[in-house]
Copies of this chain bind each other. A is one copy, B any other.
Amino acid sequence: MINVGVIGYGYWGPNLVRNFHETSGAQMKAVCDLDPRRLSLALKRYPTLQTTTDHRELLKDPAIDVIAIATPVAAHFPLAKDALKAGKHVLLEKPLTQSTEQALRLLEEAAKRNLTVMVDHTFIYTPAVRKMKELVAGGSLGEVYYYDSTRINLGLFQSDVNVIWDLAAHDVSILDYLFEDKPCAVSATGISHVPGSPESMAYLTVFFESNLIAHMHVNWLAPVKLRRTLLGASKKMLVYDDLEPSEKIKVYDKGITLKDNVEGVHQLLIGYRSGDMWAPNLPLTEALRTEAEHLVHCLENGERPMTDGAAGLRVVQILEAATRSVRLQGQPVELDARRKAA
């Protein structure tokens, strides 16, 4: 039985508590939040939970195996470091940390003590992204040319991180999961709509060592909510619309065909294919449940989680580079090769 303590019972914390509560093999032991009213809410729903405003109580409790951290990003690093030092495994809400530096130090700490660091890259555990991975890895799309994502809506403006760290973190973690290709540079542009606040809209292009290119539009100030990703590829193309109640994934048997042309007339080289569309049925399992079960499984079997600390680091590197590029009006920022190896 894996015993879990959760720090942070704000927006996401209750989802963690509910899912660990209902995962066999896991047991919710304690919840910590600085706001006693949040703790009363937790208690009302789960009367047997220990609650505290002092996270050190969780770290001291020898019955607790894992600390799950769902606080503002700024608190991720100090809390996770303390938890590791207290000998606990940690699960961190995305993004892992505020900087590459912090991420590297956490990984080092965990390695030293042989502890697990897992990052809550939730989308990796959704049936839709799993299906995309299956299609990409299985080769049925052919060579993937580009990943293009639009992730926009009205709000919620964050004060401590910009929209890249909030929304693009999802897409960058999906990129990290879907493709073996190595990213090498980022060009990004963006702007803040609120004076003195972090960027509220941004556009990121991630270049890969292969021909793959990825682009994201993230925005807190949009008239409509969109969650839509396109995959362009050589054999088939795909649209993933996360707001569709069913048919989230549509695979189009569409594309271009390049033909050898002895006379070299360009116009004749390119043919257009248009075939059937297919929307695979997807199960309705909740991502966070799959994720909680995965963590329990990894801890029980000494395996690395799919979204381990290294994945969290790779994502943070790209978010960091993107933010730097925004400040340089799109000037490309290379991803440090040494760190990429992490």
Listed in ascending order, the chain A residues whose CB lies under 8 Å from chain B are 45, 47, 145-146, 148, 150, 152, 154-155, 157, 159, 185, 187-191, 193-194, 197, 201, 203, 205, 207, 211, 213, 215, 217, 219, 221-225, 230-232, 237-239, 243, 245-247, 250, 252-256, 258, 266-267, 269-270, 272, 274-281, 325, 328-332
* Pairs A-B, 6 closest by C-beta atoms: A187-B330, A223-B237, A159-B266, A189-B205, A277-B279, A223-B252
Q: Are A189 and B213 in contact (CB under 8 A)?
A: yes
Nearest Cβ on chain B to A161's Cβ, whole angstroms: 12
CB contact between A329 and one of B230, B279, B332 (< 8 Å): that residue: B332
CB contact between A203 and one of B203, B277, B279 (< 8 Å): that residue: B203
Q: Report if A154-B278 is in contact (Cβ < 8 Å); known contacts: A145-B193, A189-B215.
A: no
Q: Are B276 and A146 in contact (CB under 8 A)?
A: no
Q: A223: which B residues are within 8 A, CB to CB?
A: 230-232, 237-239, 250, 252, 254
Using CB atoms, name the residue of chain B closest to A146.
B201
Q: How far is the CA of A155 from the CA of B211 in the complex (A)?
A: 20
Q: Report if A278-B278 is in contact (Cβ < 8 Å); known contacts: A213-B191, A270-B194.
A: yes
Q: How far is the CA of A325 from the CA of B330 in the complex (A)?
A: 9
Q: Name 13 A/B residue pairs within 8 A (Cβ), A-sorted.
A: A148-B219, A189-B213, A193-B256, A194-B269, A201-B232, A207-B329, A221-B256, A223-B230, A223-B250, A277-B278, A277-B279, A328-B332, A331-B331
